[in-house]
Amino acid sequence: MRHERQLIAVTQETDDFNFNFQIANLGARHACRVRVRATSKTQAASFIRDNWPTIEALARRNLANSPARSKLIKLQAG
């Protein structure tokens, strides 16, 4: 039997938290920024640590598709 995923009602107010990092691509460094919507900076940082392999893969894929144009990755924790 298939269970539909239900959205949990957000009872706490959330904010955007930005995390900047650099990634090397074709011998050059590129500035990257990830924006995480979370209830606290601690929760946002934990989300970044827990999902780092996915975030890095998204950043590398975005650089490969369009290295000259900066892109912002937006995520929502929890």
- Give the per-residue pLDDT at 33: 87
Domain ranges in the chain are: 15-76
Q: What's the pLDDT score for residue 26? A: 79
pTM for the whole thing? 0.68
Whether the CB-CB separation of 59 and 73 falls below 8 Å is answered with yes
Report, as ranges of residue numbers, the positions in the chain whose pLDDT lies below 50: none
Distance CA 40, CA 69 (A): 30
> 3-state secondary structure string, 28-43?
EEEEEEEEEEECCHHH
